[in-house]
Each structure stands twice: as structure tokens, then as C-alpha cells.
């Protein structure tokens, strides 16, 4: 390693008050895209943070939230790219927050606020990590570029506009996608892929008004229509029943299955701790657990709405019903194909009256796990944590990484923290995590030009 870990940590601690103040300014700005928050204040704040550190900053308009590009072109052969987002999830339910969601607060060495973990904390750690590398005198042998969007939590609806218009800005020798960190005595996790997702709303209409449930024998009940349609999508063995759905799914590679056998046993225990359970669906465990979680597609009912759901009884046949359904897809499945297959399935099974509205979708994408960039991150993580990092071929979740994948190797990381409450009330980050995240990024910036 060409860096001194303790020297980097000293600099990070010296800057900590300023770093927390920067994070506070970002967290205190409401930036939920679906709530139509004004993004101008955070764009102004981020522009100021980058420019005073010597970056050239451009703001690119899209049909939705703007994309910020901050670049430090140092004339080097290699470029390190950071992808982050400045938008956040809705803060509800508000009554469960112990402190205001849009006011950064600290309790017991944890930082609280909407976006503090996902993804403003990581963004600030990246910014200060690069700064720390320079302050340590290492003069990183790479150019630095940040791409920061404002719609990730809403499905990155308009990021494709930016990516197609500016493919040159996506090219790099490695992209840190949102989170990459290492903390002493904790294993880092690096995920070199994401599943795709295809998200629908299924709408069913009955008669033009709600009906008395006594008239159930003579009126169309949209709730039953919807339930029957949903039950046709998947069986009790979790097998998706849509004709042709699995045709494009690539079978697991031998090396992937071998990788699963080497995972520490407590990786699964962490999921049991997270969900407070002794066993998982269909008793999945070991290699089967990871194969299903990481490599297999899914079909999930995310929400249902119909009829009377208030207090007490109301004997009614609701006039309409709606379900939100997502499909997680894997290489080589395509969003467009799944849209077609679902429509054909519903029509074939007598549900042509159901309106399947496509809301959003991502294609799946992966970087090869043996890519030198990923291996470099793994080595630095071991140096910081004292433990071997765990490499995952893919995450079980989704993201717009496919827009970057043909231009750059990329990876995102994490450290298990069940108290972070990402997407939930009282979202938080350990102060120690912010500290080591920052120092880890400083080391990565320093190392990139050497591998």
C-alpha cells in the first residue's frame, strides 16, 4: 500500500467538525423527488462545496431533477468516478421519528436524519475522502469525477437522458457506486452487480360505484379479479408461472456457486438478526439461500388497495382495486420482454380487463468479480478492517448501474448495520462509520493510480 492509514485517519479526524457541518447542510435540505421538493438549494450547496475544493462543476438539466457533474481533471491517464444521489425517500411516518427528519442530530455517536445514510453521508465521505488524500500529500495519480443525480429513490427516471447525451462522462477506470467503506473488525461487502427491476401497477375496475356487499352475487368485484390474477403469477414454491419468463435467465456459474460455499456462516445470521427470524422462506439456507437471493428473478406484491380499510365494518364491494407488483430480473432478462410477457399472461388467463401500467424499470448489470478495480477495493478494505471482504456477484436490489456498466467497471459496498434504518424513520449512521468511510475513500483515491 502506498498510503499510511493512520496518517489518513488523523487528517479525517482533524476535518471531522467541518465534515459533519457539511453533512448537516445537506441533510437539512428536503430533497424528496416524489414530493416535488425544490432541488435548487442543494444544487447550490453542492456546487459551492465542490468549487471551493477546486472542481469544475456543471449542472445538466433533464426532464426531471438536474444532474451535477463535478470534475477535477489532473491530466492523469486514469479516472476515478463516484456516483451518488442527492434525493431521499419520503420521511413518513413522521410520528415515529425521535428528531426532525430534516435536521441532522447526534445521539450516542450516531448521526440521525433523512438521507444521512442513503446517500448524503456517503457523498460527503467521498468528497472529504478525496480532500484527505491531497492533504496527506499523496497527490492521487488519477482524475476525479462525481456524477450526482436527484431521482434515484424515484427510479432514476430521467438519468438515461443524461447518460445517453454524455457517454464520455461515464468512462472511467473504476466507479464507486454510492457506498464503499471499511471499518475495523467488520467485514466489508462489495457487490459487483444489481438485479434489474420491472415495476407495475395493476388496476381493475368494477361498476361505476361502490356496491352493497349484499349485491355481491350480481356485481363485479374488482378485489376478487385482482386476487385471482395475482395468484396466477406465482405458485407456493415461489416459481413464477408466466410462460417464457425464465427463457433468458443465465444459469449460475460454477465459480459463483463455489464463492457461495466460502461465505462466512454469520452472513446469513445477520439476515436472521435483521428480520428477527430463525428460518427463511421455504427453509432456504447455505448455497441455496445465496443462489435464490442473488442470482434468481423474483415476483413480489408490493402493495394492495381496494374497498374499505378504515376502522369498523363497512359491507361494501369496492368499485376498483389496485396492486403494485415488481419483478426483479437477472442477466439476460430485459425490461421490455417482461412487459410483453406479463400482458400476454394476463390476457391468456382471462384478465384482459386488468390494466397493467408500467411505472419504472432497470436492466440488470454486473462487473466481473475478478476485475482489478474490485480486487483493489478488496485489498484496501482488508487493510482497514483487518478482515477479508466478502464479494457478491450481485445485490438482490436494483439500480440504474446498467447505464454505466458498458463504460466503466463499478462496485458498491456496505457494512452490516441493522440500526441504520435506511428508508425508515430514524435513519442513521454511526459517526465511526462516517470517519472510516472517509479515510477508506482517501486510500482508494491514492491506490487507484498504482494498480
Please, are residues 301 and 219 in contact by the beta-carbon 8 Å criterion?
Answer: no
- Give the mean model confidence (pLDDT) for residues 100-111: 97
Q: Which helix (H) or strand (E) holds 23?
A: helix 16-27
Confidence tier at 429 by pLDDT (50, 70, 90) = very high
d(CA 277, CA 264): 19
| 227 contact partners, CB below 8 Å, separation of at least 6 | none
In a domain, 301, yes or no: yes
Same domain for 178 and 45: yes
Closest alpha carbon to 444 in 390, 385, 376, 389: 376
Same domain for 370 and 357: no
Confidence tier at 89 by pLDDT (50, 70, 90) = very high
The mean-pLDDT minimum among 112-116, 144-148, 228-232, 383-387 falls in 383-387
Question: Does the pLDDT of residue 179 top 90, yes or no?
Answer: no
Question: What CATH number has the domain bearing residue 38?
Answer: 3.40.630.10
Question: Per the structure, how many domains does the chain have?
Answer: 2
d(CA 8, CA 444): 11
Q: Output the pLDDT for position 139.
A: 87
| pLDDT, tens digit (0-9, with 9 covering 90-100), for 306-349 | 999 999 999 999 999 999 999 999 999 999 999 999 999 999 99
In a domain, 278, yes or no: no
| pLDDT, tens digit (0-9, with 9 covering 90-100), for 240-296 | 999 999 999 999 999 999 999 999 988 999 899 889 999 999 999 999 999 999 999
Same domain for 71 and 207: no
- Give the mean model confidence (pLDDT) for residues 106-116: 97
Question: Does the pLDDT of residue 401 top 80, yes or no?
Answer: yes
* Range(s) of the domain holding residue 63: 5-194+364-448
Same domain for 213 and 140: no
Last residue of a domain, one of 338, 362, 386: 362
In a domain, 47, yes or no: yes
d(CA 405, CA 135): 32
Going edge to edge, which strands form the sheet with 67-72? 56-60, 67-72, 143-149, 79-85, 174-177, 410-414, 189-191, 390-392
Same domain for 235 and 212: yes
Helices 16-27 and 120-135 pack at an angle, to 10 degrees, of 150
20 vs 186: which has the higher pLDDT? 20
Q: Is the pTM of this model over 0.85?
A: yes
d(CA 401, CA 403): 5
d(CA 287, CA 168): 40
Please, are residues 84 and 93 in contact by the beta-carbon 8 Å criterion?
Answer: no
Same domain for 35 and 159: yes
Q: Output the pLDDT for position 417.
A: 85
Question: Does the pLDDT of residue 215 top 90, yes or no?
Answer: no
Q: Which helix (H) or strand (E) holds 129?
A: helix 120-135
Confidence tier at 364 by pLDDT (50, 70, 90) = very high
d(CA 447, CA 141): 8
Last residue of a domain, one of 339, 362, 385: 362
Cell 462509520 found at: 433
Confidence tier at 449 by pLDDT (50, 70, 90) = confident
Same domain for 215 and 95: no
Q: Output the pLDDT for position 219.
A: 92
Same domain for 141 and 107: yes
- The fraction of the chain above a pLDDT of 90, given in percent, is 89
Q: Output the pLDDT for position 357.
A: 98
Question: What CATH number has the domain bearing residue 213?
Answer: 3.30.70.360
Q: Is the peptide bond before 346 cis (omega within 30 degrees of 0)?
A: no
Question: Does the pLDDT of residue 415 top 80, yes or no?
Answer: no
**Rounded to a whole number, what is the distance in angstroms from the first to the last CA of the chain?**
10
Across the chain, mean pLDDT equals 95
In a domain, 277, yes or no: no
Last residue of a domain, one of 346, 362, 378: 362
Same domain for 418 and 351: no
Confidence tier at 416 by pLDDT (50, 70, 90) = confident
Q: Which three cell numbers stand for residue 4?
A: 499510511
Question: Does the pLDDT of residue 436 top 80, yes or no?
Answer: yes
Same domain for 301 and 224: yes
Same domain for 119 and 215: no
- Catalytic site positions: 87, 152
Amino acid at each position: 500500500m502506498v498510503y499510511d492509514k493512520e496518517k489518513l485517519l488523523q487528517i479525517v479526524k482533524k476535518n471531522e467538525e467541518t465534515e459533519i457541518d457539511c453533512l448537516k447542510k445537506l441533510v437539512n435540505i428536503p430533497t424528496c423527488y416524489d414530493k416535488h421538493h425544490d432541488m435548487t438549494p442543494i444544487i447550490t450547496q453542492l456546487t459551492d462545496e465542490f468549487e471551493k475544493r477546486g472542481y469544475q462543476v456543471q449542472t445538466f438539466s433533464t426532464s426531471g431533477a438536474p444532474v451535477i457533474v463535478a470534475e477535477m481533471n489532473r491530466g492523469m491517464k486514469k479516472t476515478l468516478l463516484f456516483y451518488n444521489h442527492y434525493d431521499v425517500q419520503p420521511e413518513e411516518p413522521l410520528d415515529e421519528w425521535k428528531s426532525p427528519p430534516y435536521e441532522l442530530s447526534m445521539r450516542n455517536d450516531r448521526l440521525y436524519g433523512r438521507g444521512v445514510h442513503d446517500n448524503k453521508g456517503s457523498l460527503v465521505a467521498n468528497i472529504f475522502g478525496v480532500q484527505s488524500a491531497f492533504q496527506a500529500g499523496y497527490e492521487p495519480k488519477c482524475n476525479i469525477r462525481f456524477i450526482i443525480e436527484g431521482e434515484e429513490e424515484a427510479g432514476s427516471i430521467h438519468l438515461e437522458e443524461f447518460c445517453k447525451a454524455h457517454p464520455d462522462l461515464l468512462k472511467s477506470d473504476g466507479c464507486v457506486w454510492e457506498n464503499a467503506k471499511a471499518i475495523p473488525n467488520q467485514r466489508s461487502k462489495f457487490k459487483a452487480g444489481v438485479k434489474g427491476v420491472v415495476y407495475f401497477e395493476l388496476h381493475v375496475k368494477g361498476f361505476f360505484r361502490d356496491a352493497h356487499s349484499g349485491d355481491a352475487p350480481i356485481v363485479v368485484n374488482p378485489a376478487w379479479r385482482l386476487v385471482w390474477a395475482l395468484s396466477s403469477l406465482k405458485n407456493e414454491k415461489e416459481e413464477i408461472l408466466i410462460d417464457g419468463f425464465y427463457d433468458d435467465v443465465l444459469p449460475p456459474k460454477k465459480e459463483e456457486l463455489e464463492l457461495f460455499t466460502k461465505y462466512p456462516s454469520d452472513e446469513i445470521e445477520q439476515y436472521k438478526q435483521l428480520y428477527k427470524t430463525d428460518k427463511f422462506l421455504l427453509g432456504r439456507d447455505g448455497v441455496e439461500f445465496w443462489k435464490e437471493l442473488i442470482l434468481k428473478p423474483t415476483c413480489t406484491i408490493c402493495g394492495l388497495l381496494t374497498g374499505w380499510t378504515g376502522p369498523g365494518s363497512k359491507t361494501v364491494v369496492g368499485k376498483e382495486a389496485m396492486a403494485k407488483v415488481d419483478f426483479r430480473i437477472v442477466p439476460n432478462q430485459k425490461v421490455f420482454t417482461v412487459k410483453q410477457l406479463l400482458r400476454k399472461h394476463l390476457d391468456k388467463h382471462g384478465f384482459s380487463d386488468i390494466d397493467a401500467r408500467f411505472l419504472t424499470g432497470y436492466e440488470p448489470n454486473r462487473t466481473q468479480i475478478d476485475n482489478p478495480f474490485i480486487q483493489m477495493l478488496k485489498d484496501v478494505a482488508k487493510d482497514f478492517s483487518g478482515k477479508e471482504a466478502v464479494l457478491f456477484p450481485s445485490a438482490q436490489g436494483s439500480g440504474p448501474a446498467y447505464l454505466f456498466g458498458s463504460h466503466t467497471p463499478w462496485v458498491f459496498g456496505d457494512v452490516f448495520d441493522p440500526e441504520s434504518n435506511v428508508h425508515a424513520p430514524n435513519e442513521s449512521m454511526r459517526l465511526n462509520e462516517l470517519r472510516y468511510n472517509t479515510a477508506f475513500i482517501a486510500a482508494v483515491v491514492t491506490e487507484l493510480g498504482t494498480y
